[in-house]
Amino acid sequence: MKFHKEGWPSLFIVLLFSAILIGIAHYFFPTFAIAHWFAYVVSAFLTLVILQFFRNPTRQFTLGENLVIAPADGKIVVIEETEELEHFKDKRLQVSIFMSPVNVHINRYPISGVVSFFKYHPGKFLVAYDPKSSTDNERTTVVVKHKNGTEILFRQIAGALARRIVWYCKQGDVAAQCQEMGFIKFGSRVDLFFPLGTKLNVKIGDTVRGSQSVLAEI
């Protein structure tokens, strides 16, 4: 188990806050043991929250030339036909993965290919399960073109708690399946858009693991 690089600023802030809190407890309440223990417990709790949220577990990747692998940990909350108006401008099969605060929040490429489109959108911070979050919230749109010509679009979407999206890609990059492409801090969702008729291996309510669970075949 490793600690993800995106977590170091948050860990530093928590450790600094903890040091101040403990210092205040000892300075203003030198003989009040309950105040000391309160400071220790709060500090330990916050540190553990950051350590678990930014964990980067070692995993055995599931790879396959014609497989679409889950780009994130979470629960399948949407499977439906919808209009994708930003890039494809036609009907697509949408699959949405909701990421809770206890999930691993690393985002990975679902297929290998070339990043044929990328765009960052500033926006709102609606709760992740709101249908409008896919079009109104802060988000990125990433399209990877497979060597067989199939394009898979996926979006990192901020939520009410997720206030920062991190991405490591740009248009023209070569994408390797299961390679890290970004991170969403403190919970949200990832939407994927497939061609109509794509054979899915998941259903609503399924729990998936990024880099391991097979979503579809193309």
Identity at 164, one-letter amino acid code: R
CA separation for the pair 45, 74 (Å, rounded)? 23
Q: Which amino acid is at 198?
A: T
Please report the DSSP string for 146-165 in residue order.
-TTS-EEEEEEE--SS--EE
Q: Which of the residues 133, 188, 211, 213 is marked catalytic?
A: 188
CB 177 within 8 A of CB 193: no
Q: Is 99 within 8 Å of 184 (Cβ atoms)?
A: yes
Strand partners, 69: 214
Judged by DSSP in three states, 58 sits in coil
Q: Is 188 a catalytic residue?
A: yes
Distance CA 195, CA 192 (A): 10
| HSE-CB for 169 with a 13 A CA cutoff | 31
Which conformational region is residue 114 in: left (phi greater than 0), alpha (psi within -120 to 50 degrees), or beta?
beta
Other C-beta atoms lying within 10 Å of the C-beta of residue 205: 9
Active site residues: 188
